[in-house]
Amino acid sequence: MKTKIAITSFASLSPLGTTPEEVWQNYTSKESLIASKEFNGQSQLVATIPAGLKELVLDLKKTDNKYKSLDNSVLYALWVSRQAVQQAGWKAGDDFGINIGSSRGATELFEKYHQEFLETGTTATLSSPTTTLGNISSWIAHDLKSAGPEISHSITCSTALHAILNAVAWLQAGMATKFLVGGSEAPLTAFTIAQMHALKIYAKEPQEYPCRAFDFNKKYNSMVLGEGAAVACLELGATDKALAYIEGIGYATDDLQHNISISDEAECFQKSMRMALQDIDPSEIDAIVMHAPGTLKGDTSEYKAIQRVFGEQLPLLTTNKWKIGHTFGASGILNLEMAILMMQHNQFINIPYIASQNNKTKIKKVLINAVGFGGNAVSIVVGL
């Protein structure tokens, strides 16, 4: 990295909670936050935001009459963006960029409008502007009264980490000095879950740990959906208020053999991790927060890629999908939150159903992975 890029604040809203204290407390617990919930009369395994936090989102909805028509994917992002900017000390009118994306966008609202169209042949006046992908960043810019560029995108499950890549490029190019980045996802609808079942990757059986991410003895796919949003404030240069620094970035796309899969040894991850590590000795990486969605091929191919890059001296390996499910476009930024908390507490979070790996005395540098449909991998190294 030509110039240090500091993460000066972080805010999240997920099944883990919202404050750093409660999020960390949930991470140190061995309990999964995945539970059964009814969708269209059928019980499905999902990880939901706690009821108390949903009330806070409803309160936000009441602060502006225009917000009543917005999807939860936008409202979740608005809520965390307010928190992050306040923590960073950014003010209304400040010149900062915004790049916050989503894999699926306004899922629930889009499905609602489409159902109304099927039933009546007409749709609501605001059905188009409230379901576009540009919704998230543009509404946040409106809410925060920012003066910088607004960017939204969808790059499936690596969306949030791609937002970081883009912000780093702007910052390193001198086109901005501050950027708000992240991802938001509210995908818990019957139709979305049905799509995952159609792909034959969704968990079916309730058990203590329904999503068996990183369990190489599992005989079935076990992905579970979760919802959430998280954002980080990035600033160019060293600062006393830095939570951590971005030290390396990498990206790559697989040559796909199938619409949804990645190569057997995740060549995209091999390339993205090597790019992120180009100025860093691999032995300096203390831990990796894996993408590890809980699918048979997704977990094993990423693990093989890590073995290819790191050889026999593997860092500690973990994932949060067993606890909060897969939050699609928000998953990468929630991985970043886990990495920052592990470094701050100097404590590795083990996966309870695999053998303990806690044999390091420090967690000071962590690599984070994310990949999605299309084999679009991103790897980011963060350190204290």
- List phi, psi (to 5°) of 163: -60, -40
Quick check: 361 pLDDT over 90?
Answer: no
| pLDDT band with cut points at 50, 70 and 90 for residue 258 | low
Distance, in Å, from the CA atom of 84 to the CA atom of 76, rounded to the nearest integer, reads 13
Residue 34 neighbours by CB under 8 Å, 6+ apart: 45, 46, 47, 209, 210, 211, 224, 226, 323, 324, 325
Residue 310 neighbours by CB under 8 Å, 6+ apart: 282, 285
Domains by residue range for the chain, with CATH: 5-383 (3.40.47.10)
More confident residue, 325 or 259: 325
The residue behind tokens 């991850």 is 269
Q: Which helix H or strand E contains 87, and what residues bound it?
A: helix 72-88
Arithmetic mean of pLDDT, 300-328: 96
Distance, in Å, from the CA atom of 239 to the CA atom of 253, rounded to the nearest integer, reads 34
pLDDT at 151: 95
Quick check: 145 pLDDT over 90?
Answer: yes
Strands 225-226 and 244-253, sheet pairing = unpaired
| pLDDT band with cut points at 50, 70 and 90 for residue 45 | very high
Distance, in Å, from the CA atom of 66 to the CA atom of 60, rounded to the nearest integer, reads 11
Residue 13 neighbours by CB under 8 Å, 6+ apart: 49, 53, 57, 76, 79, 80, 228, 229, 230
> In the sheet that 35-39 helps form, which strands lie side by side, from edge to edge?
35-39, 42-47, 225-226
The number of CA neighbours under 13 Å toward the Cβ of 63 is: 12
Quick check: 316 pLDDT over 70?
Answer: yes
More confident residue, 101 or 134: 101
* Average confidence score pLDDT of the chain: 94
| pLDDT band with cut points at 50, 70 and 90 for residue 133 | confident
Residue-wise pLDDT tens digits, 280-306: 999 999 999 999 999 999 999 999 999
Total length of the chain: 384
More confident residue, 132 or 25: 25
Quick check: 88 pLDDT over 60?
Answer: yes
pLDDT at 109: 95
Looking at 34-43, 125-134, 235-244, which range is the least confident one? 125-134
| pLDDT band with cut points at 50, 70 and 90 for residue 146 | very high
pLDDT at 217: 93
Tell me how far the alpha carbon of residue 240 is from its chain's centroid: 26
pLDDT at 1: 77
Quick check: 202 pLDDT over 70?
Answer: yes
Strands 316-318 and 287-289, sheet pairing = parallel
Q: What is the DSSP letter of 202?
A: B
Q: What is the DSSP letter of 241?
A: T
Radius of gyration of the chain (CA): 20
Distance, in Å, from the CA atom of 379 to the CA atom of 366, rounded to the nearest integer, reads 10
Q: Which tokens in the block code for residue 169?
A: 């490029």
